[in-house]
Structure 1
Amino acid sequence: MNAPLHNARPGSASGSDTDVRPALTLLIAAPRGFCAGVDRAIEIVERSLERYGSPVYVRHEIVHNQYVVEGLKAKGAIFVEELDEVPDGAPVVFSAHGVPKSVPQEAQRRGLDYLDATCPLVSKVHRQAERQIEAGRHILFIGHRGHPEVIGTMGQVPEGQMTLVETMKDVELLEFAPGTELSFLTQTTLSVDDTAAMVEAIRLKFPQIVGPKAEDICYATSNRQAAVKEIAPGSDLVLVIGSPNSSNSVRLVEVAEKCGTEARLIQRADDIDRAWLEGVGTLGLTAGASAPEKLVREVVDRLSEWRTVEEHTLVSAVEKMVFKLPRQLTE
């Protein structure tokens, strides 16, 4: 384990039976939790509520975390899946995952006041897709079918000009007419290692394929996976806080498992089964990019009810990324 230990402190277990509680070493990954894109998306909804008043409509979950969504609902946000659920004249926010081009076009047609909370790193992939089509290339898009980011990215180009690639088997089955110009792009929340292997296979099959100058997988996804690789080898169990429909959170579970460590995805402390801790002396803990730090502390507090916890934060990177808000909210 190469990362230094930071912020070591005992857990705040209360009660007279503290001394008889089994010890638990808690390795907390850093970075973890909210990324700059998620921070920005949530702030866009909150500022929209301040500016327009309640309700503000949000097309799809602003980020994939039920705690965050419920908190924004309590402030006056209404979440819908399609634009036709938004009344005329109501403000609407597009989620951080991005939307097909047809969505803002329809919003403009209806005269809706809309704000785009698409993560700037996803928007960057959208622009890359447009450029590849303008250059006459067919795009291979590495991603997970049905994920909102994939739907949004594939919706940036005319139908039939982008092929989704999910697995190595998909790569094997790819066939194109001789002379077809190809390029590839990737979803931003994939496994770094799995994607690298798939890109290698694609390049081997299509040596002339054009790829992005920089990695599409976002800095936050890469950093959180690297942080899990620091805590997992020394842990008996890794808990990942995140939603089942959060791609980056599910990838963190997979990364831990590939380190040979049992891992479980939880949404919050109430999901923890105390029986999981039997035989566990060292527990790893992290959170996906859409999970707030409050849920991390909630889990630590719950563990401290059962065990005498000693926390260690393993820092593998320091993030300072900040994204600007839409002009409508800053003028």
Structure 2
Amino acid sequence: MSASNARSTLHLPQGDWPTVLDCLCAHFPSIDRTTWTDRFARGRVLDANGQPLAVTHPYRVGLKVHYFREVPDEPPIPFEEQVLHLDDHLLVADKPHFLPVMPAGGYVNETLLARLCKRVGNADLVPIHRIDRLTAGLVLFSTNPESRGRYQALFRERNIAKRYEAIAPALPGLAFPRVERLHMVDGEPFFLMKRGDGAPNSETRIEVLERRGALWRYALYPVTGRKHQLRLQMATLGAGLCNDPFYPDLLERSRRDQDDYTKPLKLLARGLEFRDPLSGEPRRFESRLQLDW
């Protein structure tokens, strides 16, 4: 069983359980009682102060509990992240393709957050924004809880300029640069998005950087930050990103579940620019990664 330095937090829900253990067993029915008991015994269930809880600790609604997700036989992802910047408030990392930002599903240790926490020795790291597992490029992390809200507000208030690069089929029949607006809604299966009716709720400016026959390199400047926004918008235009397993056509599950490291999604979070909310100074970060043709 693998263990992770990335921990999750739960505020115990309303109920009438006698112990924290009973509450966790009920809240996470897919994890058996023996597994939870073992986690308590190994100090993998903590209180709000980071102290291990006893298996007999009484339940209380709203109690803040930290626990460490564990995944058996988690396969390593053979690509390394790079730390581009680190100070008292921010860490900027270059994330490789295929590495998730946060623990989810079958990924715990093999996440950008878990790797960076271990690498820089800071358990307080929190991503200020996220990019898809299959997308490479820049991710900002808060290193200091006291200033975290100021940097999170940059994204919430759209005071940060984001630039992506993508390689996708040519669109010779369209004029560029262009602004693409789309009404995006949840699709089926649940992890997909689709075009819906109604007023646009997503917006991206698109430019062409380079033309090579049937493929072009695009610069994408998202104004909004919806799930799979760039991937769906490009697919809707008729230029689904190269090696995208979701759009415009969903690959069968057996192929989706088996990453092909020779065919990364051709999408890169290339640049971030903003005015620092603490110092007022302009900040600009650029990915060192490249999308190969």
- TM-score normalised by the chain length of structure 1: 0.22
More strand by share: 2
Which structure carries more relative contact order (alpha carbon 8 Å, separation 6+)? 1
